[in-house]
Amino acid sequence: MSAHSPTIDGRLGLRRIYETPLASDGKRILVDRLWPRGVSKQRASLFLWAKEVAPSPDLRRWFHKDHARWPEFRLQYLAELDLNSSVSVVEGIARDGVATLVFANADLEHNHAAVLRDFLIKRMSVAANPETNLTGGTTE
């Protein structure tokens, strides 16, 4: 099963690093803090390793122990992203053209890369439409 799932405008996708890179991936950005086992740098075919945007080590370990913590993990990771200046680097690459967030996690739905992608899509959407606030409503 492929984890590649582009956004509405086809500019920001998700893909497991263990899948074969495709030309349609655009700039591939590894968003894991740890280098994935068994993957050479050549095979990874990365534009950037953005380990700084991954969850903090403490949050990652806390979630890894119990995946039932997904809702709380998601909220805590979003709070980390709000304070993380490195996110703007990944956002800039995504704004510049097609990009794919690459990750090692086997769970295609409950992983930090999916949270990061949603965060970036929302952030880019708000920046493109400043009259829309983060909750989706319009500002008066």
The confidence score (pLDDT) of residue 11 equals 83
Cα–Cα nearest to 112, from 42, 32, 17, 51: 32
Query: What is the token pair recorded at 139?
Result: 């500002």
The confidence score (pLDDT) of residue 82 equals 96
The confidence score (pLDDT) of residue 12 equals 94
pLDDT tens-digit map of 74-127: 999 999 999 999 999 999 999 999 999 999 999 888 999 999 999 999 999 887
- Sheet bearing 48-49, strands edge to edge: 12-16, 99-103, 27-30, 48-49
The confidence score (pLDDT) of residue 132 equals 55
pTM: 0.84
